[in-house]
Amino acid sequence: MAESKKTGRKKGKKDFKSSTESKDDNEDLSSDSDVSDPEEKDQEVAVGHIGRRVGTAAVTINREEYIQAYRDLTFDRNQLQMKNNILHRRLAEYYRKRKLEHVLKPLEGAVDLEDKYQQKLFSYEELKMKEEREIADIKSKMRAVEIQYEDRLRIAEKKFDDLQHLERSTGTGLIYSKKGKPITDKTVERFLTLQRRKSEQSSALCLRYIRVRNAVVELEAIVRKLEMLGPGLYVAHYEQLSIDRQNFMTKIEEREDELIKNRVKCTEHNQILAHIREKMNHTDEVIDTTECDLGDAEIEFLRAREDLAQVKSHRDRLRWSLEAERMKAGLLTRKDLLRDFQNATDEVGQLRQKKELLEAQITKTTDELRKARRRMQLHRGTNHETYNNDS
């Protein structure tokens, strides 16, 4: 297969060379025709301008050089064509020996494949242009970020320098509160250099932390990709499933042990059931005898029920007679009611006496009223008579 690929590549190169040579030959012929055409045009122009007194000079062209070049190129083309035919024959013999005659057959749908290839090339060019645009955008963004970074760095350094200048101006001339001595300029500079060194260390540590964080994020992404076996499938799920499988296997073994124990218990219970059946036969005999006793007891129970009914009827008769006697006796059976009755009768007697006294008073007052009315009438009659006599 490797030899066939090499021979195919050589064949393609030879075909390309032959096509280029044929193109060169055609160009030479066209150049010859072009050379001859200007001569004819010049002659035509000269003939056209004869009446207008315009003269033209003849163009001298060395046709032998072009003819020799054309002959050399045709010879080379023929040589390459012969070599191409020989190589084609060798390739055909090679493929026949290898039983790969299908390679020599023309491809079906070669035009479609060529169109697809052209489409792929166009899509590749579009992707390449898109990639170049994206790279240019990324570079422009990087430049903008770098410019922004430099501006911010310059501003931060300027602010830090201003801060240190302010600290230097405020630190010079200060006095220790405990010792009472002024602070020297060297100590101030030492503090400032220490501050600058610490700020540089902190910025370096922050940068290192950011790099490590980004590296950790990338590693976590890689680990997630490695943990993912497929869409929706992870290594953790596989491990969990294997652990669950092991747990289920242990549970199955435990259940098998329990099953064996239960089988032993079942055999024991079967023996116990056989013993219970023997006891049940004996208890059936006992039940039969007790059923006979139960029949006798039921007969006695019915007799006792009849006697009980008679006793209840006699009791009801006595209860009804007692109730009738109570109804006859009335209040004699209850002392509190008798006491209330006695109190009520005493109160009624007192009220009757009061009533009689009030009636006597009322009759007395009515008699007095009648007498007073009669006196008033007599007095009015005498007054009327005296008035008539006076008039």
302-to-15, 298, 311, 314, 316 alpha-carbon distances in Å? 131, 6, 14, 18, 21
Q: Which helix (H) or strand (E) holds 229?
A: strand 228-230
| Cβ burial 47-57 (10 Å sphere, 16+ → b, else e) | eeeeeeeeeee
**What is the Cα–Cα distance from 65 to 37, expressed in whole angstroms?**
18
The pLDDT, as a whole number, for residue 196 is 87
Say if residues 52 and 108 touch (Cβ distance below 8 Å).
no
The pLDDT, as a whole number, for residue 48 is 41
Neighbour count for residue 164 (Cβ, 10 Å) = 19
**Can you give the pLDDT of all 391 residues of the chain as single tens digits?**
334 434 444 444 444 444 444 444 444 434 444 434 434 444 443 334 334 444 444 556 788 888 999 999 999 999 999 999 999 888 888 888 888 777 777 767 667 878 888 899 999 999 999 999 999 999 999 999 999 989 998 998 899 888 888 888 887 777 777 777 777 788 888 888 898 899 889 989 999 999 999 999 999 988 888 877 777 777 778 888 889 999 999 999 999 999 999 999 999 999 999 999 999 988 988 998 899 989 889 999 999 999 999 999 999 999 898 888 777 766 566 677 778 878 888 899 899 999 999 999 999 999 999 888 888 888 887 877 777 776 6
- Whether 219 maps to a domain, the answer reads no
Contacts of 69 (CB under 8 A, 6+ apart): 28
- Whether 213 maps to a domain, the answer reads no
The pLDDT, as a whole number, for residue 261 is 92
Say if residues 80 and 17 touch (Cβ distance below 8 Å).
yes
Residue ending a domain, choose from 281, 298, 330: 330
- Whether 245 maps to a domain, the answer reads yes
- Domain count for the chain, please give it: 3
Say if residues 101 and 95 touch (Cβ distance below 8 Å).
yes
Residue ending a domain, choose from 279, 310, 330: 330
Say if residues 164 and 195 touch (Cβ distance below 8 Å).
yes
- Whether 190 maps to a domain, the answer reads no
**What is the Cα–Cα distance from 186 to 235, expressed in whole angstroms?**
63
Same domain, 320 and 361: no
Say if residues 12 and 91 touch (Cβ distance below 8 Å).
no
Same domain, 359 and 391: yes
- Whether 136 maps to a domain, the answer reads no
- Whether 326 maps to a domain, the answer reads yes
What letter does residue 176 receive in the DSSP assignment? -
**What is the Cα–Cα distance from 230 to 237, expressed in whole angstroms?**
11
- Whether 157 maps to a domain, the answer reads no
Same domain, 36 and 84: yes
- Whether 290 maps to a domain, the answer reads yes
The pLDDT, as a whole number, for residue 115 is 85
**What is the Cα–Cα distance from 307 to 303, expressed in whole angstroms?**
6
Same domain, 314 and 345: no
The pLDDT, as a whole number, for residue 107 is 67
Residue ending a domain, choose from 105, 136, 170: 105
The pLDDT, as a whole number, for residue 273 is 92
Say if residues 191 and 171 touch (Cβ distance below 8 Å).
yes
Q: Containing domain of residue 29, as a range? A: 2-105
